[in-house]
Amino acid sequence: MTPFVADVLIPLGKIAAVILYPMVMVVVMIWLERRVVALMQGRLGPNRVGFQGVLQPVADAVKLFFKEDIIPRQADKLLFNISPVLVMFSSLLAFCFVPLGEPVRIGTTTLTLWIADSPVGLLIVLGLSSISVFGVIFGGWASNSKYPLMGALRSVIQVLSYEIPTGLAVLTVVFLARSMDLVEIVRRQEASGVWYGFLMPVSFVVFWISAVAETNRAPFDLPEAESELVAGYHTEYSGMKFAYFYMAEYAHMVLVSSLVVILFFGGWLPPFQGVKALAFLHAVPGFIWYLVKIMFFLYLYVWIRATLPRYRFDSLIRLVWKWLIPLALANFLVVALVRFLR
């Protein structure tokens, strides 16, 4: 392979992939959400644009692109413009650290399926995903309007509170894997033969609940509760800036689903590793397994949204401080104890 290909084309291709892959997933997710919610409610949902309406989100984005971009007169222009970018940027940047699979060998060269391989990849991803809350705060504050402000305040408290159980749940995984490298965590699960989600179901449940809360999704979608706060922190946004918030939220969901799959469900590993009779499952490429698992969790997001009412603010906080954090702490102690005794 020529140095040109190795040093220029492959990195460029990877960068394009890191932008395209979340975007495609976002489009699929928006379509999935609208279709699945509709089907659960006895309706059909969008099914006109493209095959079964797959291109509906694209049509919506094109529409939003041509909408007038309104900046309220009393808004803080700089922050108002920056915040959608910040939200989008932090979500996309985190995808650089999320591996898509084991390195692939093409001829003599190996192609790694991630951009940056960091020994503390997990920390960076978690950190980046919580930067996006700054975009939400700035957006709500800069709008200089009451509903967005209330949405932003709710968002801050919610995300800050739910970071703690997330961290505690992730710590148990780090404990078992003895690494913060996302690829290494998957490899350890392959070596141990049991996915951590089955080994530590409590960690998984705590992580999942906090993840739903951190992505501001139902039943924890208080910052944008449409029946209370109209649209929450992005009430005053229109056109492409609104689309940025919208897409970033979905990109965040894809990111969280990827994390859940990597941390608790073996990433790109095929299921039933130990069973000889099901060895044919290994013939399916790891990337497909990875996508299937992610899609399951995205479906779960939508399924929960179609089912549950919305929490009230105080009970949301009560849930995290009185239930999730003690549970996560106890779980952490048990895992540490077991780890220590073995």
Partner 1 sequence: MRRLRRFLKSFFLVDILRGLAVTLRLYFSRKVTVEYPEKVQVPAPRFRGLPRLYRDEKGEPLCIACKLCQRACGTNCFDIEGKRKEGAKFMRPEKFDWKLDRCTFCGFCVEVCPTSAIRFSPEFRLTGVRKDGLLFHRDEMYLQGDDLQDHLCGGCRRVP
Partner 2 sequence: MAFREIDLNMGPQHPSTHGVLRLKLAVDNEVVLRVEPVLGYLHRGMEKLWESLTYTQIVPLTDRLDYLASLSNNLAYCLAVEKLAGIEVPRRARYIRVVLAELQRLASHLAWTGFMANDIGAMSVLLYGFEAREDILDIFEEYCGARLTVHGIRIGGAVHDLDGPLVSRIRAVLERIPKRLADIRSLLDENRIWKERTVGIGRITAGEAIDYGLTGPPLRACGVAWDMRKDIPYSSYDDFDFDVPLGTNGDVYDRYLVRLEEICQSIRIVGQALDGLPEGEFKAKVPRVLKIAPGEAFHTIEAPKGVLGFTVRSNGTDKPERVKMKSPSFINLQSLEHLCQGNLFSDVIGILGSLDIVLGEIDK
CA within 13 Å, CB half, 323: 12
Residue 315 touching partner 1 (CB under 8 A): no
Burial (CB < 10 A; 0-12, 13-18, 19+), residue 97, is buried
Listed ranges 76-84, 182-190, 269-277, 306-314: which one lies at the site for partner 2 (CB under 8 A)? 306-314
> Read out DSSP for 174-202?
HHHHT---HHHHHHHHHHHSS-HHHH-HH
Residue 37 touching partner 2 (CB under 8 A): yes
CB of 129 to partner 1, least distance (A): 25
CB of 94 to partner 2, least distance (A): 28
Residue 303 touching partner 1 (CB under 8 A): yes
DSSP letter, residue 105: E
Among 74, 110, 192, 307, binds partner 1 (CB under 8 A): 307
CB of 234 to partner 2, least distance (A): 15
Among 74, 109, 192, 307, binds partner 2 (CB under 8 A): 307
Q: How many residues does the chain have?
A: 342
CA within 13 Å, CB half, 270: 15
Binding-site size for partner 1 (CB under 8 A) equals 12
Residue 36 touching partner 1 (CB under 8 A): yes
CB of 38 to partner 1, least distance (A): 8
CB-nearer residue toward partner 1: 40 or 291: 40
CB of 146 to partner 2, least distance (A): 6
Binding partner of residue 227 among partner 2, partner 1, none, CB under 5 to 8 Å per kind?
A: partner 2
Across 98-145, the runs of DSSP E, i.e. the strands, are 104-106, 109-111
User: Cα(257)–Cα(209) distance, rounded to whole angstroms?
Assistant: 12
CB of 115 to partner 1, least distance (A): 37
Residue 308 touching partner 2 (CB under 8 A): yes
CB-nearer residue toward partner 1: 31 or 242: 31
Nearest CA to 337 out of 167, 176, 170, 195 is that of: 176
Q: Is 109 helix (H, G, I), strand (E, B) or coil?
A: strand
Which residues are CB-neighbours of 314 under 8 A, at least 6 positions away? none
Residue 308 touching partner 1 (CB under 8 A): yes
Residues 169 and 328 sit within 8 Å (Cβ to Cβ): yes
User: Cα(322)–Cα(338) distance, rounded to whole angstroms?
Assistant: 25
Binding partner of residue 150 among partner 2, partner 1, none, CB under 5 to 8 Å per kind?
A: partner 2
**Nearest-5° Cα angle at 236, 81 to 88:** 45
Residue 219 touching partner 2 (CB under 8 A): yes
Q: Name the residues that contact partner 2, by CB under 8 A.
A: 37, 40-43, 146, 150, 218-219, 221-222, 225-228, 230, 305-315
Q: Name the residues that contact partner 1, by CB under 8 A.
A: 36, 39-44, 303-304, 306-308
